[in-house]
Amino acid sequence: MAVNATSVVRRALQETGIGLVASCGAAAYDACAPEPLQCTVLLPGARGVVVAGSAGPALWRGFLARMKERPELQDSADPYDEFVASLLARADQALEEAAVRFTRFEAAFGAPVRADFVALARLVGLGSPGPFGLLIHPEHGPWWALRGAWIVDAAVDEPLDPARPCAGCAAPCVGGWQNAGGIGQATAEVRARCVVGQQSRYDDDQVSYHYARAATQIKTA
């Protein structure tokens, strides 16, 4: 039976908190990607791209549990990104065991290659544009994030065709569509006013961590 890389990654990431997995063909990806990041450059013969993300507080709670088990990890430069990378490595191992060649991108702040994960998420159908610069997931609303992507030389699933929850919405999150803007509007308060996905809202300490971290990155960029 032919290997399906989307299924391989999805199975490898079960129970990790990185449960959103979708994919698209290599041609669709290359049509949007800058030449240095195209499949034809990074992995000749590639057949598709698999994208993975997390939603809700599960990943964060797993991180806290890991820190409790191994408090020495708090001394690392970025323990959260290192924790996420350790989970993505499970998919790497699974792909290797399935004899699938791949190149991986990470969505971490310090990733050596800065792939456009917003574009990737739209290509595979994980979200659609909202009024405050974030992609809105049909189930989880704004309470999700991209974590990793793999260019692979195996078959992948077709992109998802999700509902577009912002279509027809009055946009109470930003006080109406006339106030729609970019990512700078995506405060915790605005996300909390989204009418979609509030059951997936991040824990309070997770919200504080991510926004403090983002502010630090902006200051040091």
Over its C-alpha atoms, the chain yields an Rg (Å, rounded) of 18
pLDDT above 90 (res 212): no
The domain limits of the chain are: 5-220
Give the whole-angstrom CA distance, residue 106 versus residue 147: 6
Give the whole-angstrom CA distance, residue 155 versus residue 138: 26
- Per-residue pLDDT of 136-148, as tens digits, reads 999 999 999 999 9
Map tokens 């065709």 to a residue.
161
Question: pTM for the complete prediction?
Answer: 0.92
Name which residue leads in pLDDT, 161 or 109: 161
pLDDT above 50 (res 219): no
Do residues 55 and 127 lie in contact, with contact meaning Cβ atoms separated by under 8 Å? no
- Per-residue pLDDT of 63-84, as tens digits, reads 999 999 988 888 887 899 999 9
Give the whole-angstrom CA distance, residue 113 versus residue 219: 20
Nearest to 50 by CA among 83, 2, 10, 97: 10
CA angle 46-49-53, nearest 5°?
155
